């Protein structure tokens, strides 16, 4: 299951469909797309968007609805994307039509289309429209998908230097590819060194001082310096010094929690750095890096990679507490509120480490 959280204005089902690749970051196929429609100052807009494999219906519907209820859904729309014959989809369509969650809320309308491509036809399968075309959805019963290349979400993708992948597998591969510049033995040695340095810092020793408060202050200053040195993902993958510095932060809960504010305040630099760390190391270092990568992308206006990063994290480490917390907040459409909470937690961690409320704040813009 993939859930993203856009806020796009609603005009027609075709406009919604045209925006889905840019929202999810890939072109879904043989999928069910569920969209929470929410009131906005300009009418109605798209809230959280969830994608399900056809085979996951109806089992995963309740989980999606639980996430949607954390917002303020006015309606729930569904889109079935499949090239199967309609009679072969009957059980899935019937499940969507009959579904009601624990609070009695169901899917208000559902459309069927063969694929997400320009000029592809879509038809209303069920919804609030009578047989003679009367009703609130009478102008939404059928149509074709407009130019995907000119949709709002696609323009945002282009403006940020990326295009949606052709499939979900292509998208998540971004988070599964390993660093090609270092061998296993090198990485193991780097990891041992990072963990040892993190333990020394936790004991109040490091940065040429034995004053625990000074250790924390210099750690935070070091984070800012390291982020200022990040140029690109590819260059960071080759840079052992940058990788080891960030891996040390991700080695323990204590160091990780002390650096959150700096990371989410510099989403571009932190994104490249944390993704490089996640692709280099394994275990808790990788999982902490993926979690804070997602948090940093949520704090970015264009956070298209947060969802797939969290999906990979939850698949690999379902019991990782921070990852699970961030995933729940993101899927509920409360990503920015969650980032605020994470920064507050960072402040508390710093206070517990001896830094007062007047400790210097990040110099990066959010």
Q: Taking the alpha carbons of 80, 85, 86, 91 in that order, is the dihedral positive or negative?
A: negative
76: β partners: 36
Per-residue pLDDT reduced to its tens digit, 259-301 = 999 999 999 999 999 999 999 999 999 999 999 999 998 877 6
How far apart CA 299 and CA 127 sit, in angstroms, is 36
Per-residue pLDDT reduced to its tens digit, 29-80 = 999 999 988 776 666 677 788 999 999 999 999 888 888 876 677 889 999 9
From first to last of its 366 residues, what are the pLDDT tens digits of the chain? Answer: 454 555 555 678 998 999 999 888 899 999 999 998 877 666 667 778 899 999 999 999 988 888 887 667 788 999 999 999 988 999 999 999 999 988 888 999 999 999 999 999 999 999 876 656 566 676 788 999 999 998 888 888 888 778 888 888 888 899 999 999 999 999 999 999 999 999 999 999 999 999 999 999 999 999 999 999 999 999 999 999 999 999 999 999 999 999 999 999 999 999 999 999 999 999 999 999 999 999 998 877 667 888 889 989 999 999 999 999 998 888 777 777 888 999 999 999 999 999 875 454 443 333
Here the tokens at position 316 are: 């690999």
Alpha-helical regions (H) of 107-183? 152-159, 168-172
Instruction: Classify residue 312 as exposed, middle or buried by CB count within 10 Å of its CB (0-12, 13-18, 19+).
Output: buried
81: β partners: 31, 113
The owner of tokens 């990063």 is: 309
Q: Would you kindly state where each structural domain of the chain is located, as residue ranges?
A: 2-165, 175-352
What's the chain's Rg over C-alpha atoms? 23
The DSSP result for 15-34, as a single string, is HHHHHHHHHHSB---SEEEE
How far apart CA 137 and CA 44 sit, in angstroms, is 14
Instruction: Return the closest-CA partner of residue 308 out of 164, 180, 181.
Output: 164
Instruction: Classify residue 355 as exposed, middle or buried by CB count within 10 Å of its CB (0-12, 13-18, 19+).
Output: middle
């Amino acid at each position: 299951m993939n859930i993203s959280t856009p806020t796009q204005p609603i005009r027609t089902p075709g406009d919604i469909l045209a925006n889905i690749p840019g929202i999810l970051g890939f072109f879904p196929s043989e999928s069910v797309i569920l969209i929470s429609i929410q009131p906005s100052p300009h009418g109605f807009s798209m809230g959280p968007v969830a994608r399900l494999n056809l085979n996951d219906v109806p089992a995963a519907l309740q989980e999606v609805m639980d996430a949607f209820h954390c917002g303020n859904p006015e309606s729930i729309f569904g889109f079935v994307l499949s090239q199967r014959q309609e009679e072969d989809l009957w059980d899935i369509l019937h499940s969507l039509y009959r579904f009601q969650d624990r609070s009695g809320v169901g899917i208000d309308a559902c459309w069927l289309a063969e694929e997400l491509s320009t000029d592809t036809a879509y038809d209303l399968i069920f919804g609030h429209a009578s047989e003679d075309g009367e009703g609130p959805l009478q102008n939404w019963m059928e149509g074709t998908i407009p130019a995907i290349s000119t949709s709002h979400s696609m323009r945002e993708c282009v403006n940020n230097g990326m295009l949606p992948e052709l499939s979900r597998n292509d998208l998540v591969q971004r988070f599964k590819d390993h660093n090609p510049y270092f061998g296993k033995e090198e990485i193991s040695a780097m990891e041992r060194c990072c963990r040892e340095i993190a333990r020394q810092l936790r004991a109040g020793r490091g940065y040429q001082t034995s004053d625990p408060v000074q250790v924390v202050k210099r750690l935070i200053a070091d984070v800012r310096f390291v982020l200022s040195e990040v140029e690109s993902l590819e260059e960071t993958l080759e840079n052992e010094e940058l990788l080891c510095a960030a891996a040390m932060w991700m080695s323990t809960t204590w160091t990780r929690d002390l650096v959150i504010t700096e990371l989410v305040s510099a989403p571009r630099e932190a994104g490249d750095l944390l993704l490089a760390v996640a692709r280099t190391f394994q275990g808790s270092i990788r999982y902490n890096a993926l979690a804070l990568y997602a948090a940093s992308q949520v704090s970015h206006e264009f956070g298209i990679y947060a969802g797939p990063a969290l999906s990979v994290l939850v698949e690999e480490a379902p019991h990782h507490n921070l990852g699970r917390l961030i995933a729940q907040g993101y899927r509920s459409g409360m990503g920015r509120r969650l980032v605020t909470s994470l920064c507050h937690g960072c402040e508390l961690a710093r206070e517990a480490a001896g830094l007062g409320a007047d400790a210097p704040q990040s110099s990066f813009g959010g």
